[in-house]
Structure 1
Amino acid sequence: MNPQDLNLVGAGAATSVGRGWHASCAAQRAGLAGFVAHPFAHDVLGQAVRVAPAAWLTWGTDAAARLAALLVDAVEEAFQPLAGPAPDLRCGLVLALPAPRPGLPLDLVEQTCAALRRGLEFRGLQAPPVLASLAQGHAAGFAALRAAAQALHDGRADACIVAGADSWLEPDTLAWLESCARLHGAGTLNDPWGRVPGEAGAALLLCTQRTCAQLRLPTLARLASVGLGSEPCTPAGQVCTGAGLTQALSGALAALPDRRRVDDVVCDMNGERDRANEFAFTALRVADRLRSASGFIAPADTWGDVGAASAPLCVAAAAMAGLKGYAAGPWVLVWGGSDGPLRGAALFERRPAGH
Structure 2
Amino acid sequence: MSGAAATMTANVAASTALRVLAIGAVTPVGGDARSTAAAVRAGLCGFREHAYMIDTAGEPMRVAQVAAMDAGLDGAARLVVLLAPALDEALAGAGGRIARLGVAVALPPPRPGGAQEAAGAVRALCEERLGGRLGPFQVFASGHAGGFEALDQARSWLRGGQVEAVIVAGVDSYLAPQTLEWLEAEDQLHGAGPLNNAWGFIPGEAAGALLLARDGATPGSPPASRPWAEVLAVGLGHESKLNKSGEVCIGEGLTQALRRALDEVPAAGVIDNVVCDMNGEAYRADEYGFSGLRVRDRLRDPTDFAAPADCWGDVGAAGLPLHLLLAASACRKGYAKGPLTLLWGSSDGGERGAAVIRAEVSERA
The answer to whether 1:77 aligns with 2:89 is yes
Q: Secondary structure at the match of 2:292?
A: helix
Task: Classify 1:216/1:113 alpha carbon distance in 2 versus 1 (closer, same or farther; 3 Å).
Answer: closer
Higher mean C-alpha displacement, 286-295 vs 62-71: 62-71
Instruction: Check conservation: 1:334, 1:345, Cα contact below 8 A.
Output: yes
- State the AA in 1 paired with 2:320: A
Following superposition, the deviation at residue 130 of structure 1 comes to 5.0
Q: Secondary structure at the match of 2:203?
A: coil
Q: 2:65 aligns with which of 18, 38, 53?
A: 53
Distance in 2 of aligned mates of 1:213 and 1:115: 23
Task: Classify 1:104/1:279 alpha carbon distance in 2 versus 1 (closer, same or farther; 3 Å).
Answer: same
Distance in 1 of aligned mates of 2:292 and 2:247: 19
Summarize the alignment of residues 120-139 of structure 1 with structure 2, pairs less than 5 Å apart. 120=129, 128-129=134-135, 131-139=137-145
- State the AA in 1 paired with 2:25: A
Following superposition, the deviation at residue 105 of structure 1 comes to 3.6
Q: 1:265 aligns with which of 270, 274, 294?
A: 274
Equivalent position of 1:290 in the other structure: 299
Q: What do residues 159-186 of structure 1 show as CA deviations (whole Å, max 9, x unaligned)?
A: 0010000000001000111111111112
Task: Classify 1:167/1:213 alpha carbon distance in 2 versus 1 (closer, same or farther; 3 Å).
Answer: closer
Following superposition, the deviation at residue 352 of structure 1 comes to 5.3
Task: Classify 1:155/1:278 alpha carbon distance in 2 versus 1 (closer, same or farther; 3 Å).
Answer: same
Q: 1:323 aligns with which of 329, 332, 351?
A: 332
The answer to whether 1:348 aligns with 2:357 is yes
Distance in 2 of aligned mates of 1:126 and 1:321: 36
Following superposition, the deviation at residue 115 of structure 1 comes to 4.5
Q: 1:163 aligns with which of 147, 162, 169?
A: 169
Aligned residues: 346
- State the AA in 2 paired with 1:234: L
Equivalent position of 1:7 in the other structure: 19
TM-score by length of 1: 0.93
Following superposition, the deviation at residue 210 of structure 1 comes to 2.9
Higher mean C-alpha displacement, 63-72 vs 208-217: 208-217
Equivalent position of 1:277 in the other structure: 286
Following superposition, the deviation at residue 211 of structure 1 comes to 2.7
Instruction: Check conservation: 2:235, 2:261, Cα contact below 8 A.
Output: yes
Task: Classify 1:173/1:31 alpha carbon distance in 2 versus 1 (closer, same or farther; 3 Å).
Answer: same
Instruction: Check conservation: 1:139, 1:342, Cα contact below 8 A.
Output: yes
Q: 2:315 aligns with which of 303, 306, 329?
A: 306
Following superposition, the deviation at residue 22 of structure 1 comes to 0.3
Equivalent position of 1:29 in the other structure: 41
Distance in 1 of aligned mates of 2:108 and 2:254: 19
Following superposition, the deviation at residue 128 of structure 1 comes to 3.1
Task: Classify 1:158/1:115 alpha carbon distance in 2 versus 1 (closer, same or farther; 3 Å).
Answer: closer
Higher mean C-alpha displacement, 311-320 vs 28-37: 311-320
- State the AA in 2 paired with 1:92: G
Higher mean C-alpha displacement, 200-209 vs 57-66: 57-66
Q: CA RMSD in A?
A: 1.8
Runs of 4+ in 1 over 6 A off after TM superposition: none
Following superposition, the deviation at residue 257 of structure 1 comes to 2.0
Following superposition, the deviation at residue 89 of structure 1 comes to 2.4
Task: Classify 1:171/1:254 alpha carbon distance in 2 versus 1 (closer, same or farther; 3 Å).
Answer: same
- State the AA in 1 paired with 2:65: P
Following superposition, the deviation at residue 154 of structure 1 comes to 1.4
Structure 1: 5+ residue stretches without partners: none
Higher mean C-alpha displacement, 263-272 vs 188-197: 188-197
Distance in 2 of aligned mates of 1:24 and 1:129: 29
Distance in 1 of aligned mates of 2:361 and 2:220: 19
Summarize the alignment of residues 167-246 of structure 1 with structure 2, pairs less than 5 Å apart. 167-212=173-218, 215-217=221-223, 218-236=226-244, 237-246=246-255
Structure 2: 5+ residue stretches without partners: 1-12
Q: What do residues 49-106 of structure 1 show as CA deviations (whole Å, max 9, x unaligned)?
A: 100011121110122112111211111111222115x1x5211111100000000143
- State the AA in 2 paired with 1:138: H
Following superposition, the deviation at residue 194 of structure 1 comes to 0.9
Following superposition, the deviation at residue 112 of structure 1 comes to 3.3
The answer to whether 1:251 aligns with 2:260 is yes
Distance in 1 of aligned mates of 2:215 and 2:202: 39
Instruction: Check conservation: 2:231, 2:356, Cα contact below 8 A.
Output: yes
- State the AA in 1 paired with 2:60: A
